Chain A
Amino acid sequence: MSSETKPASGVAKIARRTFLVSAGVVGGGVALGLALSPNRLKMYRDDVASDDEIILNTWVKLTPDNQLTVIIPHSEMGQGVGTGLAQMLAEEMEADWETVSIEQAPASDDYINSDLGRGYIVGEGARIPAFAYPMLDFAFLQIAKGLVGQITGGSTAIRLTGYHGMRRAGAAAREMLTRAAAKEWNVPVNALRAEASMIHHDASGRSASFGTFAAAAASFTPNLKPELKSAKDYKIVGTPKPRLDIPEKVTGEAQFGMDVIVPGMKYAAIAQAPVYGAEAVSIADPTNAAPQIVNLGNAVVVVADSYWEASNALRRIEIEWDGGDPSLTSDALRALHSAHLEETDHEEVMDKAGDAPAKLASPDTLSVEYAVPYLAHATMEPMNCTASVRDGKCELWVGHQNPITARDDAAEALGVNKSDVTIHNVYLGGGFGRRARTDNVIQAARVASEIGVPVKLIWSREQDMSNDFYRPAIVSRMKGLVEDGKIAAMDHAYIFADAGMPDSERPYAFQYDVQNKRIARHPYESPIPVGAWRSVDFTQMGFFNESFMDEMAHRAGADPLAFRIAHKSDPRCRAVLERLADEARWGRPLTLGAAQGVAIVDSFEAIVGQVAELTIEDDNRVRLHRLTSVVDCGQVINPDSAEAQIHSSVIFALSAVFFGEITLENGQIVQQNFPDYDMVRLRNAPVQAVHFIKSDHPPGGLGEPGTPPVAPALTNAIYAATGKRIRELPLTRAGFSSV
């Protein structure tokens, strides 16, 4: 895999991989728990520890004066990941929360987060998030480079890295410190007690700080199966600790990729091929100002002393593009999508039970089509990357969801070793899946290499919006038959462009008890780039399934919420719906004359039920008064951050429902900036109520699960208000707008 050589830890790493290869061959990936060499937990790396810091294991640093640093192998893009993971580690370590700080893990193989989860699953019964199955399957691991890294995506940080890794890293650190104290004081380990970063020997009344024993503790080998606390004894997990990254985000000090300043750097503006597949064949400067131009083939970059000058020069020059398909339009794409829906030769049957086709031959069958558009991510911080390439070494500064892959892709683009590329991963001004891609990183590296001085590449908003990896547009056909007040059979067929969602998360599932069902997808290659967009395939599937469930309920003459409960045997889902009926005052809206709509989606191991309460004003303007969410995500690590994630998911989804649509004319993306790809703002953001079900289940994901039910809850409420069933998004297509 890697040609890099490194003393000490590098040796351990190679040995571990060699072992895994044989384990993978013999045991088919079963022996995953053995992935972790004990040596791996004990590292001394110059780039992580400064003079007075002692590394207890890969994820924990302690100073003699008892300050604790937790090293975080996930990217901070608004979700509060560092604080949550640190809470999990500090809890098991019995650390004093006041001494805790966090630090971004270096983008090096030693800090790959999938290893953290995989490595610790020794005889755990392997409760692994389905999103991570591919990371854990060794054969897949070898071929799927994109899944090896410090990926922040799939809502896996807490449920994988935290639950399997950070808790044990903390517990192992506590054991090492306690052993060191026992040795020092010459008392049995079990006579000692750790509390608030102190070790106490109650019998003698002696106590000393963790820091006192840091150096001695580091000589012990971490226990791979340390004793973990019972959830009922938690003091830090489950409490609303203020996020550690927030103070610097209100003073302007937080450094995002956009803010990086490297001495002597230049600024670059970019024009990417307006038509997919086109190349720049000639570049002319009518003013003869001779700006510094780099032709990357599918993009032209102008470099100057300031971004303003670079973008002005870029506007001035005349670029001739050739190639691609300038005839591509949204109408043509839509026709293509519909054709794919009828094309069953390559269909993949995802789920099947009973005999749905026979049942659905009934004349009473309802058959309806749904469609959702391409969507851009539109992170607040446009894409950017700062690069310096000198003497065969490359340094990159960027906020990235997958820094190790970014490093690898930059190395490949420059033809250098991965070990010659260093990534400084800084704060992300929004990610939502967009910042897992490496296009901007490769561009910056190539430009810096070409011009020989450090350069900050900044995409304009227009470049950002028209060069995305969009959420796939999907058309879908659902059929269903109601008999005796219940769904007797259902069938779902939809087109499928791969956005990176592992099937193991079962986004396609119809999450209700139906005896006869058939779900099939029709794969196709999207002519425009697609990728993961917050909650990935669940956003489209949630809209189709939950709209259809509503249609079935009305067909049965049933209350939509009670109808859902009648088709759910999972007690957790039933409990969410029952609580939702109560909290949202189902059938008794708070607002006079308001209509309500309900939806529930189980995704990333979290169940989110939502009720939208709205009125329709003049000119079909929708006023969304309240949106109530009831969430069962298992254990809640930080209730305050958890609530924020639901707030966030709801607004993200609402912007898409109201306004979100990416279209094409002449092979080019039409939407360029916020006026034509508008966003919900304060004035049309609903009041939100968020309730969590108290649960002892292991934590599920939470960055994404709040998004999928929003669209159907809203459109189901519009149906309740108007009798108009919305089967295409955004709402503007059906003549509705926001207040």
Chain B
Amino acid sequence: MKISFVLNGEATTVDAPSDMPLLWVLREKLELTGTKFGCGIAACGACTVHVNGVATRTCVLPASVIDGAEVKTIEGVASPSGEMSAVQAAWIEHQAPQCGYCQSGMVMAAEALLDENPDPTDEDIDNAITNICRCGTYERVRTAIHAAARARREG
């Protein structure tokens, strides 16, 4: 089916099977490979993007659902001129990624958390960010989220 949605600020139409998960539409039909495949059952969070501003795991989300929606992926987080977001900058400042494979999903989950809760506690972060990282970057992810929250509030 033809699916029309706003992708990273641009009107987009794609032809895909209606039950094809958004993850594969993004990666294979639109060649946006920043969003990752990790588990296929929405357990790990590597495939997280924003659908209408909500952090959403896309490996089980049928493409038909996003018709008319607004989707933001990791490729749309920096400004069009390439300026990184506060979260991305904090990620670099605190050297959060290791292998990096889960980090697109981590960044998207963190962006959504801060959109909703500008000053999260450790507990808020623990509850909101349930993504799996096999490199164990959690400590720096938590530090970076606090730093990004500060930067956004002061920004």
Contact = CB atoms under 8 A, between A and B. Distances in A.
A binds B: yes
Interface of A: 76-80, 242-243, 245-247, 249-256, 258-259, 261, 267, 306-309, 378-382, 427-432, 458, 460-462, 640-641, 644, 647-652, 654-655, 673-675, 679-683, 685, 687-688
A652 B137 CA distance: 10
Nearest to B104: A252
A250 B92 contact: yes
Contact of B103 (A249, A308, A652, A674): A249
Given A252-B104, A647-B138, 12 more contacts: A246-B91, A250-B96, A252-B73, A258-B36, A307-B28, A308-B21, A381-B36, A427-B101, A648-B136, A675-B41, A681-B129, A687-B139
Given A250-B88, A308-B17, A681 B97 contact: no
Contact of A308 (B20, B38, B129, B138): B20
B139 A428 contact: no
B140 interface: yes
B91 A644 contact: no
B39 to A, nearest CB: 4
B98 A79 contact: yes
Contact of A682 (B74, B95, B129): B129
8 contacts: A250-B88, A252-B32, A254-B100, A258-B36, A308-B28, A309-B17, A427-B100, A680-B138
Which one of A79, A308, A655 has the highest number of Cβ atoms from chain B below 10 Å of its Cβ? A308
B75 A251 contact: yes
Contacts of B107: 250
Given A267-B28, A640-B95, A647 B101 contact: no
Shortest Cβ-Cβ A-B pairs, 7 listed: A252-B34, A651-B136, A429-B101, A249-B100, A78-B99, A78-B98, A252-B74
A461 B136 CA distance: 19
Contacts of A245: 100
Contacts of A673: 39-41, 43
B125 interface: yes
B147 interface: no
B31 interface: yes
Contacts of A267: 28
Contacts of B57: none
A351 to B, nearest CB: 33
A381 B32 CA distance: 16
Contact of B99 (A253, A430, A654, A681): A430
Contacts of A261: 31, 33
A695 B75 CA distance: 43
Contact of B126 (A258, A650, A682): A682
A308 B137 CA distance: 30
Given A306-B20, A652-B134, A458 B100 contact: no
Contacts of A679: 132, 134
Contacts of B141: 682
B101 A242 contact: no
Interface residues of B, number: 58
B142 interface: yes
Contact of A306 (B28, B31, B129): B28
A458 B39 CA distance: 12
A649 to B, nearest CB: 8
A651 B101 contact: no
Contacts of A249: 97, 100, 103
Interface string B53-80: 0000000000000000000011101100
B130 interface: yes
B127 interface: yes
Contact of B38 (A78, A242, A380, A640): A380
B149 interface: no
Contacts of B102: 380, 429
B97 A675 contact: no
B135 A78 contact: yes
Contacts of A79: 98
A648 B98 contact: yes
Contacts of B74: 251-252
B84 interface: yes
Contact of B137 (A76, A306, A640, A648): A648
Interface in B94-146: 95-104, 107, 125-127, 129-142
B84 to A, nearest CB: 7
Given A252-B104, A380-B44, A246 B134 contact: no
B39 A674 contact: yes
A337 to B, nearest CB: 27
B38 A461 contact: yes
Which one of B96, B132, B136 has the highest number of Cβ atoms from chain A below 10 Å of its Cβ? B136
Interface in B9-60: 17, 20-21, 24, 27-29, 31-41, 43-44, 46
A255 B41 CA distance: 23
A381 B135 CA distance: 11
A380 B88 contact: no
A359 B78 CA distance: 69
Contact of B101 (A430, A460, A652, A685): A430
Contact of B138 (A252, A458, A681): A681
B84 A682 contact: no
B106 to A, nearest CB: 9
B36 to A, nearest CB: 7
A432 B134 contact: yes
A78 B137 CA distance: 10
Contacts of B140: 644, 647
B71 to A, nearest CB: 14
Contacts of B38: 380-382, 461
B21 A430 contact: no
B134 A675 contact: no
Given A251-B75, A380-B38, A644-B98, A308 B24 contact: yes
A681 B95 CA distance: 18
Contacts of B34: 251-253
B97 A251 contact: no
Contacts of A250: 84, 88, 91-92, 96-97, 103, 107
B97 A246 contact: yes
B43 A251 contact: no
Nearest to B100: A249
Contacts of A654: 136
Which one of B37, B75, B100, B139 has the highest number of Cβ atoms from chain A below 10 Å of its Cβ? B100
A647 B99 contact: no
Contacts of B36: 256, 258, 380-381, 429
Contacts of A688: 139
B110 to A, nearest CB: 11
Contacts of B127: 683
Contacts of B20: 306, 308-309
A654 B134 CA distance: 11
B130 A682 contact: yes
B137 A647 contact: yes
A683 B97 CA distance: 18
A306 B136 contact: no
A679 B43 CA distance: 10
A259 B133 CA distance: 18
Given A258-B36, A380-B44, A681-B132, A251 B98 contact: no
Nearest to B107: A250
Nearest to A432: B134
Nearest to A640: B95
B141 to A, nearest CB: 7
A308 B127 CA distance: 31
Contacts of A431: 99
B142 to A, nearest CB: 6
B33 A682 contact: no
A253 B78 CA distance: 12
Contacts of B130: 681-683
A267 B75 CA distance: 23
A652 B99 CA distance: 13
B124 to A, nearest CB: 11
A256 B101 CA distance: 8
Nearest to A461: B39
B97 to A, nearest CB: 4
